[in-house]
Structure 1
Amino acid sequence: MKEIKVPELAESITEGTIAEWLVKEGETVEKGDPICELETDKVNVEVNADYAGVLVEHTRQEGDDVEVGEVIAKIDESGEAASDNTNDKEPEAEEKPVQEETKAPEPSSESNKSDKDQKVVASPAARKRARELGIDLNSVKTADPLGRVRPEDVENSTKTSQSSKPAAKKEAKPAAASSQQDPAGKPVKREKMTRRRQTIASRLVEAQQTAAMLTTFNEVDMTAIMNLRSERKDKFQEKHGIKLGFMSFFTKAVVSALREFPYLNAEIQGNEIVLKEFYDIGIAVSTDDGLVVPVVRDADRLDFAGIESEIADLGKKARQKELGIGDLQGGSFTITNGGIFGSLLSTPILNAPQVGILGMHTIQKRAMVMPDDSIEVRPMMYIALSYDHRIVDGKDAVQFLVRIKQLLEDPYDLLLEG
């Protein structure tokens, strides 16, 4: 009997929550097969079997919190042989052969079904996507000459099977809680917070308690950027295969401003200030499980197309729960865009241990007084900078935000830099 333990995940992650068992008790697994999905503070990871055999026991259940090194399952490496021997001995032990004959086909059909499942050749990504969509891999058609099922084959499979399984899973848990009542006798539902939501909650509170956080505001006239995008968007997409969005302009402006105000690209470690000489910019992405902040590495070395591609890829991975630990670690500054949800003004909370975060907001047409005292309707955006006042002075924070405003209102300088 072999034990399956929670593997080492990452330096900063010591525990997780069993989100889903992918292999049931009594099912056969091959070495390397994923047996369960583990939800950690940052991403979901699969725990793979270190041995081939029959998974005979789940020592921990879905929803249980587990630590690195803890035993979560047991595998019998001789499970198949033991099952065959048991079937051979049953006819000798039983005195009612008629009943034995009627029962015999049942385990045989299950065994055949299991064998059929094992013959499906599919990539790990395809198997994971099939589980998420509730699709039987045996029903997936593939154009691969070797018959290997790929993620795109799963995506192209029957839509009805894609929607049935998730719906059933979501309905199961709230039903038991719906009958509960609050102290006043009113009906309520209770849901256990996901590990990621618990982490988000604790880190946000920690950031407010440990940092001297202040926020300064400004507004940006988006006319020049919108005109520039309108002029070049078609050629840009034709050349690079991706749309020219706002985030590349803001990322470039942030990098340029950080060079001028390096204390906003730093963190506090004990009694030292660590000034970072790299520009790994975190881009906040909203998912169904909460906010995550994947990092665009070396943003100062990327052009506009490179930044847009990186953001698109990271956003897709975040929504499909495919982000790795490395995608989320080590950012030096963060940008968050509440404007996509319609936010007009907000105070972003620091992404510790970073000491600065820029908040973007919705673009709204407003009447503005121009330098010649005329009044024009302009597309305006409020921007906010939250910063740690322990190492960032108010003067630097205000000038940093003003510099970003200047760069965005004259984006041709950013294009020259990029």
Structure 2
Amino acid sequence: MPTDVVMPQMGESITEGTITKWLKKPGDAIQRDEPLFEISTDKVDAEIPSPAAGTLKEIKISEGTTVQINTVVCSIDEAGSSSASAASPAKAETAAAPAANTVTTADAAPAVQGNAPPAAGPGTEVLMPQMGESITEGTITKWLKKVGDTVQRDEPIFEISTDKVDAEIPSPVAGTLSEIKVPEGATVTINTVVAVIGGAAGKTAAPASSTPAPTATAPAPVTAASSASTAAGERVRSSPLVRKIAKDNNVDLSQVPGTGASGRITKTDIVSHLEQGPKPVAAASVAAPASAPAPAAAKPAAPQPQPGELVPMTKMRSIIAQRMVESKRTSPHVHTVFKVDMTRIVKLREKEKSKYEQRNGVKLTYMPFITRAAIVALRKHPVVNGSIEGEAIRYNKNINIGIAVALDWGLIVPVLKQTEEKNFLGIARGIVDVADRARNKKLAPDEISGGTFTLTNSGIFGEQFGTPIINQPQSAILGIGGLNKEAEVITDKDGNDSIAIRSIQRFTLGFDHRIVDGADAGKFMSDFKAYLENWSEDIG
């Protein structure tokens, strides 16, 4: 019996992927977990393994084509029958034909070509999507189309907000929006029908309240210019996020060179285009005089609250607040601050950083020193690397360090797995690698989960120290304060005191008092401090 292979979801906010290369052809024998095709998304490029052993029966999606997640891209004949190699020439030609932006498969909802209305029928239901494994609901913050509007497949039709992502949701088919079932501002569970495309004409749902709550992600009023850029976005390869940025900044996507697969425009492409000062598309209804210079496109900015204004929380902000309170309520937080003399490491780094980069191809920063010291201390005090499961304590086998990385659009915590097996150079390379891929949206989903201990470096903003909240279900988090020169009292071996200028840094351990006692935290931090102040490890 044939097995359908679908476009996988490569991350919580990923809704589509582009097939960049087929590694097998119809008739080829394949093993389970053998790479079958390559895909590219806004966050990751990856090889996708076969879910079963057998013979590749049919390729349904050609190279260069962008499709929604869970779209069937090929089928595998697990029995390995000869029918797999007897695919019709027409199908083979279809698979090899030049790709359109998106396609409709046999088991997807029927699409309507062009702008023609759909054939009579029940219509296609549009569901509230699940934007991640832990997401159970979403709030519709804005409808981008109204009843009676014609929509194209993959054209954004509404915006949603969850606790992890704000996103535009594309239409699953082309046709006419015949009914809106859920109004703006309403929160519904995943897989709830929110609209219908095609079928009999319906109605627009009544507003959830007389004054819908404003959201931080609502775009500027739609003008002729933004409509033009949206239309342009439908003719080029791009993601809903890219089309939103283009619409908010009146950018014609046909003028933006794409560096992604098959010329696809990535977020990096559109941001780079904006930073270079592109000319905005002129709006017919608000066109400036010919003599007036075109204003430079500005980056989208979050709304600034006005003094005395009362602004309702967005759904995302509300749930973030809820999660922070849950963590504080779940774990009785205690914080301890240690002052560490980093002078030895500062001098070592200054002496070695140039040669280190030439020798190893990676910059020598303070993070691998701090990470390595934390790993050594965690090995001595496994309770700090543990977590509570019901009425038991899980002493984690591996030390998986989460490294908080600040992004232009938020914060992400990629995880370095099995750090107890890595030397200093391996840790240094790992930190640079995950930070770079986090900023370029190239992390795989499993690289942002499974952490057992977290490092957060807010000292880069100048603070002395902070009191971070534990990342559940971990039992501790280490906050890294600023590195500054301070006057310190130094006692020599004969007991004589003097004042010297030293490089001092403060570190805060936030720990769950249910599992980690004050003595455990003190011993951990003492060993962490001693390792840094008496550094003797070869850095490679």
- The TM-score range, normalised by the shorter chain, is 0.7 to 0.9
Matched, 1:2 2:124: yes
Q: Relative to 1, partners in 2 of residues 1:35 and 1:352: Cα closer, same or farther, differing over 3 Å?
A: same
Match of 2:349 among 229, 235, 241: 229
Report the 3-state secondary structure (helix = DSSP H, G, I; strand = E; otherwise coil) of the residue aligned with 2:354: helix
Which residue of 2 is the match for residue 202 of structure 1? 322
Structure 1 segment 252-263 matched on structure 2, within 5 A: 252-263=372-383
Q: 1:381 Cα shift?
A: 0.8
Per-residue CA distance 1:292-349 (angstroms, 9 max, x = gap) = 54433344444311222213432564xxxx9886554332111122212221133222
Q: Relative to 1, partners in 2 of residues 1:191 and 1:115: Cα closer, same or farther, differing over 3 Å?
A: closer
CA RMSD of aligned residues (A): 3.7
For these two proteins, the number of residue pairs brought into alignment is: 367
Match of 1:75 among 181, 189, 197: 197
Matched, 1:395 2:519: yes
Q: 1:264 Cα shift?
A: 0.9
Which residue of 1 is the match for residue 402 of structure 2? 282
Give the letter for the 1:354 counterpart: Q
1:8–1:69: 8 Å Cα contact kept in structure 2? yes
Match of 1:29 among 142, 148, 152: 152
Unaligned runs of 5+ in 1: 80-110, 179-186
Give the letter for the 2:132 counterpart: A
1:34–1:49: 8 Å Cα contact kept in structure 2? yes
Give the letter for the 1:390 counterpart: R
Q: 1:274 Cα shift?
A: 1.3
Give the letter for the 2:479 counterpart: G
Matched, 1:376 2:482: no
Structure 1 segment 10-409 matched on structure 2, within 5 A: 10-18=132-140, 26-30=149-153, 32=154, 35-44=157-166, 47-61=169-183, 63-76=185-198, 117-122=233-238, 126-127=242-243, 130-131=246-247, 134-141=250-257, 148-158=264-274, 159=277, 161=280, 163-164=297-298, 166-167=300-301, 170=303, 188-238=308-358, 242-286=362-406, 292-300=412-420, 301=422, 302-315=426-439, 317=441, 326=446, 328-372=448-492, 373-409=497-533
Q: 1:355 Cα shift?
A: 0.9
Whole-Å separation in 1 of the counterparts to 2:310 and 2:150:
33
Which residue of 1 is the match for residue 100 of structure 2? none
2:453–2:476: 8 Å Cα contact kept in structure 1? yes
The TM-score normalised by the length of structure 1 is: 0.74
Give the letter for the 2:456 counterpart: T
Whole-Å separation in 2 of the counterparts to 1:371 and 1:357:
32
1:253–1:414: 8 Å Cα contact kept in structure 2? no
Which residue of 2 is the match for residue 92 of structure 1? none
Q: 1:39 Cα shift?
A: 3.0
Whole-Å separation in 2 of the counterparts to 1:130 and 1:407:
50
Whole-Å separation in 1 of the counterparts to 2:130 and 2:331:
31
Unaligned runs of 5+ in 2: 1-122, 202-226, 281-295
Name which of structure 1's ranges 149-158 and 198-207 shifts more when overlaid on structure 2.
149-158
Q: Relative to 1, partners in 2 of residues 1:23 and 1:134: Cα closer, same or farther, differing over 3 Å?
A: farther
Report the 3-state secondary structure (helix = DSSP H, G, I; strand = E; otherwise coil) of the residue aligned with 2:437: helix
Q: Relative to 1, partners in 2 of residues 1:267 and 1:393: Cα closer, same or farther, differing over 3 Å?
A: same
Give the letter for the 2:235 counterpart: K
Q: Relative to 1, partners in 2 of residues 1:113 and 1:258: Cα closer, same or farther, differing over 3 Å?
A: closer
Which residue of 1 is the match for residue 111 of structure 2? none
Q: Relative to 1, partners in 2 of residues 1:356 and 1:197: Cα closer, same or farther, differing over 3 Å?
A: same
Q: Which has the higher contact order (CA 8 A, sep 6+)?
A: 1
Report the 3-state secondary structure (helix = DSSP H, G, I; strand = E; otherwise coil) of the residue aligned with 2:364: coil
Whole-Å separation in 1 of the counterparts to 2:487 and 2:318:
43
1:247–1:308: 8 Å Cα contact kept in structure 2? no
Per-residue CA distance 1:243-301 (angstroms, 9 max, x = gap) = 33222222222222111111111111211111211222223345677655443334444
Q: 1:201 Cα shift?
A: 1.9
Q: Relative to 1, partners in 2 of residues 1:112 and 1:272: Cα closer, same or farther, differing over 3 Å?
A: closer
Report the 3-state secondary structure (helix = DSSP H, G, I; strand = E; otherwise coil) of the residue aligned with 1:198: helix
2:178–2:200: 8 Å Cα contact kept in structure 1? no
Q: 1:14 Cα shift?
A: 0.6
Whole-Å separation in 1 of the counterparts to 2:244 and 2:399:
33
The TM-score normalised by the length of structure 2 is: 0.59
Report the 3-state secondary structure (helix = DSSP H, G, I; strand = E; otherwise coil) of the residue aligned with 1:254: helix
Q: 1:400 Cα shift?
A: 0.6
Per-residue CA distance 1:380-412 (angstroms, 9 max, x = gap) = 011111211222122221111111112222444
Q: Going by fraction, where is helix more abundant, 1 or 2? A: 1
Q: 1:67 Cα shift?
A: 1.8
Whole-Å separation in 2 of the counterparts to 1:58 and 1:414:
64
2:155–2:234: 8 Å Cα contact kept in structure 1? no
Give the letter for the 2:234 counterpart: Q
Give the letter for the 2:174 counterpart: A
Q: Relative to 1, partners in 2 of residues 1:134 and 1:400: Cα closer, same or farther, differing over 3 Å?
A: farther
Q: 1:379 Cα shift?
A: 1.0
1:282–1:294: 8 Å Cα contact kept in structure 2? yes
Report the 3-state secondary structure (helix = DSSP H, G, I; strand = E; otherwise coil) of the residue aligned with 1:255: helix
Taking every aligned residue pair, what percent have the same amino acid on both sides? Answer: 38
Q: 1:214 Cα shift?
A: 1.7
1:51–1:77: 8 Å Cα contact kept in structure 2? no
Whole-Å separation in 2 of the counterparts to 1:329 and 1:49:
30
Whole-Å separation in 2 of the counterparts to 1:305 and 1:27:
50
Per-residue CA distance 1:93-152 (angstroms, 9 max, x = gap) = xxxxxxxxxxxxxxxxxx999876533234667546545655221232458997654555
Report the 3-state secondary structure (helix = DSSP H, G, I; strand = E; otherwise coil) of the residue aligned with 1:391: coil
